[in-house]
Amino acid sequence: MSQPLASLVILDRNSAQPLYLQLSSQLMDLIRSGLLQPAQQLPSSRQLAENLQVHRKTIVQAYDELLAQGWLESRLGSGTFVTTHFPESKPSLQTSFDPLQTAGFSFESKPFLQRPPLLTQGSYHLDDGFPDVRLAPLLDLSRAYRHELIRSNAYSRLGYGDPRGSRWLREQLSLYLNETRGLHTSAGNVLIVRGTMMGFFLTSTAFVKPGDYVALDSMSWSGSTLNLQQAGARILHVPTDEDGLDVEALARLCQQHPIRLLYLTSHHHYPTTVALKAERRMKLLALSQQHGFLIFEDDYDFDFHYERRPLFPLASVDTHGMVLYCGSFTKTIAPAFRVGYLVGPEDAITHLSQLRRIIDRQGDTMLENALAQLLEEGVIQRHLRKALRAYQQRRDHFAELLTSELAGRVRFRKPEGGMAIWTQFEGEVNLTDLSRRAFKKGLYFSAGSQYSDSRIPATRLGFASSRPEELSECVRILKSCL
């Protein structure tokens, strides 16, 4: 070694890592990189301690460590040496290569998976349709979670559980879904997932093979499209009008291709919020039976419907086991709580739960039980009634603001439910520019490019997460940018 060893080692006395571990780690790096060669002799512990100005014990500890691990060998009477058995390696020539930045193995990144991060940090927001988390029953949730944790100091309760999710939550959810949505499920029909995203990931991974034809609304949720691209599906777009999906157009597609799956937001179409009419629902179910395709019914905000009763889901009249029904607590409590449910025929649910087991084993048992407790106590139901009243008021207020403040600038239909108004801008508006200008003034809204590739200047403006006075400020900023 041309350089003395001490000059290659840098010890940081302020680090939380003990000095001897810093030294042993750096010696390994030196051996690894070839700066210390196999069979090379190391300085004595006394000499190295002097050079590094540390206690000799530190050097002895580091050497002992490396001796025990097989990096060094001790030869009686002659000192300490780098093990001879190592493969020789030359100091790397790629000095600019940083293994913390760049993988040494090859891989292809997938452009479709590269999505910009969500920017929702503005003071004001007209978002995709999120709930107002200030209304969420967080204290109740905290109490229930704490209760779960404290009573759970037991082997079986904190061990591995059922990949289908907490039995308690599956039972409570069955009751709740049967009551509110006219379903006829029991716990065996329910798989607890981590939101609609996982529900559709499981479905597309388990049931769609590369090359399969899958039908989607021409405007749709990006999460469904991304998962279908990942599954290698051939995507067919079906037009949507003001009564929802054009089922006749779908019927024509079925004549041309074997359809494997239809992804559908039947209740409040995403993004446009229109409801699929009953007549079309019946035709759709008949079509799915006839052609054998499964329907993934994403009912992301069923509980938020302001005019008369919500439409029962397709799943409630599915007599042939063609529908997988999916919902989540994202809109009920907050997006950060990743709990949702997939409901369907027991054999399909079992199959999906076997796949789920190798993805993340199971959900968060504590949180699932806490939610079951809140459902059993009626806390979630009371929260939903309270939120529904607040959101209806906000919808009405926001619709009035759009009409009075932005007359001639925007077109919209007041939605019967949901948390956002589908808003089309009149004339040659560049929504990307508009949303950037608004963001600089503290208002976030989406430029709408995630809904489809079409060039209509239209987007979802979510009203539920803002109080009426906040909505007024939102519209004031938006108006000032137009």
Closer of 77 and 105 to a second copy (Cβ): 105
SS3 212: coil
Q: What is the dihedral of CA 362, 367, 371, 377, to 10 degrees?
A: 130
Stretch that binds a second copy, among 40-48, 145-153, 265-273, 401-409 (CB under 8 A): 145-153
Residues 60-89 that bind a second copy (CB under 8 A): 64-65, 68-71, 83, 85-87, 89
Does residue 473 touch a second copy according to CB under 8 A?
A: no
Tell me how far CA of residue 147 lies from CA of 368, 379, 383, 455, in angstroms.
12, 15, 20, 51
Closer of 350 and 403 to a second copy (Cβ): 350
Does residue 241 touch a second copy according to CB under 8 A?
A: no
SS3 313: coil
Does residue 289 touch a second copy according to CB under 8 A?
A: yes
Q: Show the DSSP H helices in 194-327 as ranges.
A: 196-207, 222-231, 247-256, 278-291
Residues 31-60 that bind a second copy (CB under 8 A): 31-33
Closer of 283 and 414 to a second copy (Cβ): 283
Q: What is the largest CA-CA distance in the chain?
A: 94
Residues 156-215 that bind a second copy (CB under 8 A): 156-162, 175, 178-179, 182, 184-186, 189, 193-195, 197-198, 201, 206-207
Residues 436-465 that bind a second copy (CB under 8 A): 465
Closer of 303 and 318 to a second copy (Cβ): 318
Stretch that binds a second copy, among 42-50, 111-119, 434-442, 451-459 (CB under 8 A): 111-119
Give the nearest distance from C-beta 245 to a second copy in angstroms: 14
Stretch that binds a second copy, among 43-51, 114-122, 211-219, 455-463 (CB under 8 A): 114-122
Closer of 334 and 402 to a second copy (Cβ): 334
Residues 388-447 that bind a second copy (CB under 8 A): none
Query: For 128, how many CA atoms within 13 A lie in the half-sphere containing its CB?
Result: 18
Does residue 116 touch a second copy according to CB under 8 A?
A: no
Whether the Cβ atoms of residue 233 and residue 204 lie closer than 8 Å to each other: yes
Residues 8-27 that bind a second copy (CB under 8 A): 15-17, 21, 24-25
Whether the Cβ atoms of residue 11 and residue 52 lie closer than 8 Å to each other: yes
Whether the Cβ atoms of residue 325 and residue 343 lie closer than 8 Å to each other: yes
Give the nearest distance from C-beta 331 to a second copy in angstroms: 12
178/374 Cα distance (integer angstroms): 17
Whether the Cβ atoms of residue 444 and residue 127 lie closer than 8 Å to each other: yes
Does residue 293 touch a second copy according to CB under 8 A?
A: yes
Q: Show the DSSP H helices in 4-125 as ranges.
A: 19-33, 45-52, 56-69
Count of residues touching a second copy (by CB under 8 A): 134
187/368 Cα distance (integer angstroms): 14
- Bridge partners of 237? 216
Residues 331-370 that bind a second copy (CB under 8 A): 334-338, 344-348, 351, 354-355, 357-367
